[in-house]
Structures are given as C-alpha cells and as structure tokens.
Amino acid sequence: MLTLYVKTGCPFCNKVLDAGGELGIAFDEKDIADDAVAAELVSRGGKRQVPYLVDTDRGVAMYESDDIVAYVREHYA
C-alpha cells in the first residue's frame, strides 16, 4: 500500500499526486493539517516535511517529490 503524507496547497505534494494520477496510482493520502497525522509523520520519518511516501509492500519510506516520482515511475508504472 502506498501512503502519502501531504499538506493542502503544497506544490511538491501536487507534483507527486499529478504523477500518480498519470500512472493510475491511488495513494492513501494523509493530510498533516490534522495534528494527529502530523505527529504520526514526525514519529515515522523524524521531521514534519511533505510529501512523504510510505510503501508498506516494499518497506520503503522517503521524502522529496522528485525521488518519490522517480520511485513510483520505476516500481508502479
């Protein structure tokens, strides 16, 4: 499962979401506007930075929109 931590209005998050849309990938989106989700993000990744992808099927987690887009294109295109 692909979980993507996002923030409304974040252009980097939109970049990842647009790439996912082009590839037909559905992300389980979690918006850090919710304080509990923000705390979960910090607990998982160590910082409050979005976008943050968690691929539970492959045991991968990463920040940085360009890296995330390259990853989903390589593994889910």
Question: Would you say the pTM of this structure is higher than 0.85?
Answer: yes
CA distance 18 to 58: 22
CA angle, 12 then 4 then 50, to 5° = 40
pLDDT in tens, 54-68: 999 999 999 999 999
CATH class of domain segment(s) 2-76: alpha beta
In which band, very low, low, confident or very high, does the pLDDT at 77 lie, cut at 50, 70 and 90?
A: confident
What pLDDT score was predicted for residue 49? 97
Share of the chain above pLDDT 70, in %: 100
